[in-house]
Structure 1
Amino acid sequence: MEENQKKVIIEKGKEYFRSIIIPAHLKNVEKLQLKSFKVNPFLVNYLASFLCGDTSSLSLAKALIYPRILGTSINTSFGQNLQVFISSLAEVAGKASGIDGIDIEFTDAIDGRTKYCQCKAGPQTINADDVATIMGHFGHLQSKARLDRLPLQINDLIVGVLYGEPSELSGNYKNIDKTYPVYCGKEFWTHVTGDENFYFELLKAFSDCVDNNEIQGVTTLQMMVDGLAEEMKLAVPA
């Protein structure tokens, strides 16, 4: 892949993060109220004390909010909006596929063959039902290729995991990998671009987007902690 194409992917990744992920994350944070949480009364005071050293309403609020906004909320947003980024990737690296169960088609920078790829977010993001679905789509495409006498090889059907390490892949991914290649993180992006460092450049590009939103994020976080603390004063004794 040419350098200008890699730069376009980087810029599209940054735009995706700025325009989709950050706003969705902030919106989800702003909606949080006490009723949004399943409070375990046996643990909440311990967690507040563990985090802040006391069980004040502010500490209780932080113990509830921090895990949600730093983990569940933004990971959910990333997964739900993944197709937006995949579409951007397809515009540069290949093309969006019209084949059922295939997200993008691209020329592999390693072996030069056309790859039919279903993209997934991370190494723990599929369940057993997804395995059956993916295997079914790939198997159907293989059968069609045989009937149409197309030169499709089994290694041309792949799952591309956008981030993570191969060692982190769940058992569900490993079951697919017994038949069809699963490329994860650096390996996937190397096959797409031919550049072993591209994955790390993309990660850095996403992290660079944070600087412009730091003040907004800090302000929103403090506002939500203060608001939840007021609710906690009434709902949970300190």
Structure 2
Amino acid sequence: MTEEQKRVIIESGKNYFRTSIIPNHIKNLQKLRLKDFDVNPFLINYLAAFLCGDTAPQSMAKALVYPRILGTSVNTSFGQNIQIFISQLAQVAGCASGIDGIDIEFIDALDGRKKYCQCKAGSQTINKDDVDTILGHFKRLIGKARLDRIPLQMDDMIVGVLYGERISANYKTIATTYPVYCGAEFWEHITGDKTFYYQLAKAFGEVVEEDGINGSSLILQKVEDIAMEITEKGGL
């Protein structure tokens, strides 16, 4: 893959964050209310004191808001919108597939063979039913290859995991028959560049600075809002 093609993928990834991830992340932050939290009364005071050194309403609000908006919320948004990113990847890389159950097709930069790839978000994101679905897609592709005389080898059908390192047991089940490329390894097979995965990850963070988004201010404002609700309620 050329440097220009890699640049286009990175810019597409940035656009994905601008149009899908960041707006949803900010929306989820701004709509948060105290009632949205399943507060454990046996833990909240401890967590507030552990984080801030006291159990003031603002400290409790931080203990609630920080993990939600910096963890659960954005991870959920990324997973729910991952098909958008995959579609954009297929478009800019010119590797969209017309085969049912196959997300992208590309020439492997390492072995030069055409790969038929089903993409998944992360290294822990499939369940047992997903395993059967993926294996079924590959089985049907094998049948199609025989009919259409496509020169297909077993290791030409792969699962590409966009991020992560250690794959789950469900992925390992698939890997007994078909390759599962995860994180940096997956992106190296697409681009031929060992560092591309890290370049792409860094680029996502650059969007915030490039677009002048003050996430810290938005979070602190929400902390104040939640703290006010806690005060009005008389505590937690």
Shorter-chain TM band:
over 0.9
Which residue of structure 1 aligns with residue 133 of structure 2? 133
* Structure 1 residues 225-236: aligned runs within 5 Å: 225-235=223-233
Partner of residue 55, structure 2? 55
Amino acid corresponding to residue 179 of structure 1 in structure 2: T
Name the counterpart of 1:6: 6
Q: CA deviation at 1:94?
A: 3.4
The CA RMSD measured in Å over matched residues stands at 1.5
For residue 77 of structure 1, what is the amino acid of its counterpart? S
Task: Report the identity percentage.
Answer: 65
| Per-residue Cα deviation, 1:84-141 (whole angstroms, up to 9, x for no partner) | 2111211232322222211111111111111111111111111111111111111121
Unaligned runs of at least 5 residues, structure 1? none
Check whether the contact 1:93–1:192 (CA below 8 A) recurs between aligned residues.
no
Q: How does 1:43-192 map to 2 (within 5 A)?
A: 43-165=43-165, 168-192=166-190
Q: What TM-score, normalized to structure 1? A: 0.94
| Cα displacement string for residues 149-180 of structure 1 (whole angstroms, at most 9, x for unaligned residues) | 32111111111111111xx2111111111111
Gaps of 5+ in 2: none
Counterpart of 2:185 in structure 1: which amino acid?
E
Indicate how the Cα distance of structure 1 residues 151 and 236 shifts in structure 2: closer, same or farther if over 3 A, else same.
farther
Shift of 1:237: 2.3
C-alpha deviation, 1:148, in angstroms = 3.2
Distance, in Å, in 1 between the alignment partners of 2:128 and 2:59 is: 39
Structure 2 length as normaliser, TM-score? 0.94
Q: 1:210 aligns to what SS in structure 2?
A: helix
Deviation at 1:14, TM superposition (A): 1.2
Distance 1:213 1:223, change over 3 A: farther
Other-structure match for 1:30: 30
CA contact (8 A) 2:12 2:92 kept: no
Distance across 2 between alignment mates of 1:85 and 1:111: 25
CA distance in 1, matches of 2:40, 2:9: 43
String of CA shifts for 1:50-103, please: whole Å, max 9, x gaps: 111111110111111110001011111111111121112112323222222111
**4+ long deviations beyond 6 Å:** none
Tell me which amino acid in the other structure corresponds to 2:53. G
**Aligned-pair distance for 1:222?**
1.2
Match of 1:209 in 2: 207
* CA shift in 2, pair 1:62/1:105, >3 Å: same
Matched pairs, number: 236
Contact 2:34 2:229 in 1 (8 A): yes
Deviation at 1:216, TM superposition (A): 2.4
CA distance 1:125–1:83, shift in 2 (3 Å): same
CA distance in 1, matches of 2:137, 2:232: 53
